[in-house]
Chains A and B, each alone.
Chain A
Amino acid sequence: MDFSNFLLMQQEMSLMAVFVILFIYDVFCSDKGKQWFQPIACILFTLHTAWGFLPALTGEAFGGMFVNSDMTVIMKNILNIATLLVFLQVNNWLKSHDTVHKRGEFFTITLVTLLGMYLMISAGNFMMLYIGMETASLPMACLAAFNKYREKSAEAGAKYILISALSSGVMLFGLSFLYGSMGTMYFSDMTAQVVSEPLMIVGFVFFFSGLAFKLSLVPFHLWTADVYEGAPTAVTAFLSVASKGAAAFALMFTLYKVFGNIEVVWNPILWWSSVITITAGNLFAIRQKDIKRFFAFSSISQAGYILLGIIAGTPLGMNATVYYVLVYVFSNLAAFGVISAIENRTNGNTLISAFNGLYKSNPRLSLIMMLAVFSLGGIPPFAGFFSKFYIFMAAADRGQFLLVFIALLNTVVSLYYYLLIIKAMFIKEGDEQSVDCFVTDGYNKISLILCTAGILAIGFLSCIYEHIGSKVDLFNF
């Protein structure tokens, strides 16, 4: 065996190293030493994130099973940033009575999930993709049920594991069709063989449905709200950005690389999924009273926007999609950072009414929340405006003006419910249900500052977009 293959897995190796160190530390250290777990995990992971930005080798490893390209490195970096921000937000929650004795587990399990996501992105073979997806989803169910003594959290874990089992099954079923008709699982070998014949189309549709569960596209979204609501807030945050981002990247790769020939088939499928997802996500979000459910539906509609970039099928589309996910990471995590700060204060009350009068009691948090929802809603001069604009440009580039128009009208709807939060925070008066003045813990502050900086700066720093664009290569990744 050629060990130089491992050189390509630079990020995976470093992640494993972090995992092993933390795992051993968790097992062997004293109770007193565990107090240091949070800072150690954060520092190690920061190092790992920084490591990811160093120049990496690119190429195929293990006979094409594993592919590392400039693009995958960028995607992994985005996921790293997301994970780092989540790690910074968990301190207060993990210190609570239910979870204090198992805080090490949170970090290690999250790292395993992240490893699965890496493999999904870097897969050069459908089996690898599948293994990556499983590695990412099983630990995720543990995380969702992390507050196991809370009924809703346990329920969320159960729901998540059932749904991921179902979606894996559906996906494997589709893959078996594809394998049956082509006799190979390697992306590079399949590309030329894919034609629009019934068996392959059926295989593709099942495969797509499997990933659609992960992306929570309508009509595969039914688990989302319950799991998001029940899971601990930090897990919800991770689920909504990292898990979704990884699925979007994997979908994009497979569509472009493997199913590029049958664009006529997947284009209408994605078109309709996108329209339905954005619309349904938005309409359901309006009715929500719980902020986590609210963000669940908001993130469903965001997934629809991501599809807009994927549907373009051009370098421009790929660029816009990756950029969109990057911005989405910062905006959504800013919102979840605020939510988790408030949730800790209100003992798990996540109703929107808890936000009433937030500006009077905690002006800074409310300002960050405002930036976050404006960015999610696509209001300039925040980063979300730029990412939405580019994703619309990418779709319009392919002549999808109708789709862009529908999406645009939906941004107006989304603005309505985002403004409801602004209204609660700024215009409504606080009552006994709403949160009082408090100080956010230091880690969360750092993460919120980073998110705010990201929301404010990413749009103006055109070099980020251009850098992603310079690495886009549709067929060699």
Chain B
Amino acid sequence: MNILSLFVLVPVLMILFLFVCKSMQQIRTVMVSGASALMILAVTLTVMFLQERAVSNAEMLFTSSTMWYPSLNIAYAVGVDGISVAMIVLSSIIVFTGVFSSWNMNMAKEYFLWYCLLSVGVFGFFISVDLFTMFMFYEVALIPMYLLIGLWGTGRKEYSAMKLTLMLMGGSAFLLIGILGIYYGSGHSSMNLLEIANNLHIPIEIQRWVFPATFLGFGVLGALFPFHTWSPDGHASAPTAVSMLHAGVLMKLGGYGCFRVAMYLMPEAAHELGWIFLILTGISVVYGAFSAVVQTDLKYINAYSSVSHCGLVLFAILMMNRTAMTGAIMQMLSHGLMTALFFALIGLIYGRTHTRDIREMGGLMKIMPFASVCYVIAGLASLGLPGLSGFVAEMTIFVGSFQHADVFHRILTIAACCSIVITAVYILRTVGKILYGPVQDSHHIGLPDASWYEKVSAVGLIVAITFMGMYPSGASELINNSLMPIIEKLAII
């Protein structure tokens, strides 16, 4: 059996085991061992991938394809390149830490069932190279969100859950029409991404409407302005681990999809129409950052900062050169890790103080030093302190973007660069307000610091963030060669 299929199989097995679980103890055992298995698998995959790539020139490795619906050319086809491996590693880290962040859930069995289904979708999406299965896993990842937010969320959870689900499903409507356009445009002989990219050609007239549909479809999940509005509400209402997984991994599905499907298969249209989306992503970046400045709810701040950072991912992808695209992938990893850390900590703080309003908090550094230090680290990573992951990613993106000499790209790049400053404003303001200064609410004195499982979650993420910041060449090494096929396709035109 292909190692990649294991990534889908393990969560499915976890679901089956959960069904027979009786006690909380058993549920935790299943979840921790399953999530650890995924981590180990991801590390093994990375090692195997690097070994394999040293000897092979293939675009994707570990490929295998089983015909599923022969008459419709639908196959269960899997394969990974460096980018998907990076995404799989990211997902496994966040799934693992997410389990620890939801240690004490009520109705834990149901919660983890949906959680595992979400993981099935996420991993399945990243390993798929068949458009149909890709789309299927994409939707599998979306629908559990409704119940996860609606049942275990906080605040206006029903409203947010519905809004999130419907907007993302609206996006997937665009996506599906795009996929059908790709399939029929390329002469309905294959749904395999590699096959379409290398051997088939989609006429430019078809590309002109399929590209926007596909890009928009994935872009909704990547919080593309003006379709980002589900994100703040959804993230704010979701339970901790779901916010982590959603901002950390699910939003990456959008960026990855834009990259892998829209740009890769339709480079001509990307050149022709990319500028429209570039403007939208530029707005996302700046607008998201500005919105974060005025928020008072910790989760809203982080959600808007996600809009800004994910906007930067799409922004960099649309710059269409190697450096910027490397930066985009790095940004996906970096943002995934640090935003997950943020949400884990916000969940931790909220669980103790029962408020997320920054005006009602202060001096937490004295009360929960561990959590506060972690928060500061997350903040510094977010605003791009050298040595942490954010710096590497954003630096690469802006260097790449600056390679375009024309006025249009320059203006957008400069505008996007400004977002770094704004990020610093809202991060430092929040950190200063809630962690330092006098204690605002006397009830907060004496609250316990992070428990061991919360520490596992936070430390795991911090290690990953620092690793990426200290050893960026590791990540870029993994990604770099895999970008070549796409860059070459984009460069030909």
- A interface residues (Cβ-Cβ under 8 A, vs B): 316, 319, 374, 379-381, 385, 389-390, 392-393, 396-397, 399, 401, 404-405, 408-409, 411-412, 415-416, 419, 422-423, 426-427, 462, 465-466, 469
Chain B minimum-CB-distance residue to A379: B143
Instruction: Give 1 or 0 for each of B320-346: 1 = CB within 8 Å of chain A CB.
Output: 000000000000000000000000000
Task: Tell whether, in the assembled complex, residue B173 and residue A409 are in contact, meaning their CB atoms are under 8 Å apart.
Answer: yes
Contact string against A for B residues 43-75, beta-carbon threshold 8 Å, 1 for contact and 0 otherwise: 000000000000000000000000011111010
Shortest Cβ distance from residue B160 to the other chain A in the assembled complex, whole angstroms:
12
Name 23 interchain pairs, CB-CB below 8 A, sorted by A. Answer: A379-B139, A380-B136, A385-B136, A385-B139, A390-B72, A396-B177, A396-B183, A396-B184, A401-B177, A401-B181, A405-B177, A408-B177, A409-B170, A411-B173, A415-B165, A416-B166, A422-B147, A423-B158, A426-B147, A427-B151, A427-B158, A466-B69, A466-B70
Given contacts A408-B173, A427-B150, A466-B70, contact A392 B139 (CB under 8 A): no
Are B166 and A415 touching (Cβ within 8 A)? yes
Cβ A405 vs Cβ B173 within 8 A: yes
How far does the alpha carbon of A83 sit from the alpha carbon of B139 in the complex, in Å? 32
Which chain A residue shows the least CB distance to B206?
A: A401
Given the complex of chains A and B, what is the CA–CA distance between A465 and B74 in angstroms? 12
CB distance B71 to A415 under 8 Å? Answer: no
A426 in contact with B150 (CB, 8 Å): yes
In the complex the two chains form, is A466's CB within 8 Å of B180's CB? no
Structural contact, A380 and B139, CB atoms closer than 8 A: yes
Give A389 to B133 CA distance when docked, in angstroms.
12
In the A-B complex, list the 4 residue pairs whose CB atoms are closest, starting with the nearest.
A408-B173, A396-B180, A380-B136, A462-B69
How many A-B residue contacts, CB cutoff 8 Å?
Answer: 77
Give the nearest-CB partner of A319 in chain B.
B71
Interface residue range, chain B: 20 to 34
**Interface presence of B188 (CB below 8 A):** yes
Residues of A close to B166: CB separation below 8 A: 412, 415-416
Residues of A within 8 A of B169 (CB): 411-412, 415
Chain B: which residue is nearest A402 at the CB level? Answer: B177
* Contact partners of B3 in chain A: CB under 8 A: none
CB–CB A469/B143 < 8 A: no
What's the Cα separation between A390 and B132 when bound, in Å? 11
- B422 to chain A: closest CB distance in Å? 34
Provided the pairs A380-B139, A397-B184, A411-B169 are in contact, do residues A392 and B70 lie with their beta carbons within 8 angstroms?
no
CA A409 – CA B176 in complex, angstroms?
Answer: 11
Which among B72, B143, B146, B173 is the interface contact of A393 at CB below 8 angstroms?
B72
Contact B180 A422 (CB under 8 A): no
Contacts of A462 in B (CB 8 A): 68-70, 74
Provide the bound-state CA to CA distance between A433 and B286, in Å: 50
Complex Cα distance A462/B176, Å? 20
Asked if A412 contacts B170 (CB within 8 A), the reply is yes
In Å, the complex CA distance between A152 and B146 comes to 36
A132 to B423, CA, bound (A): 71
Which residues of chain A have C-beta atoms less than 8 A from B147's C-beta? 422, 426-427
- The answer to whether A389 touches B132, judged by C-beta atoms less than 8 angstroms apart, is yes
B273 within 8 A of A: no
B110-140: which have CB < 8 Å to A? Answer: 132, 136-137, 139-140
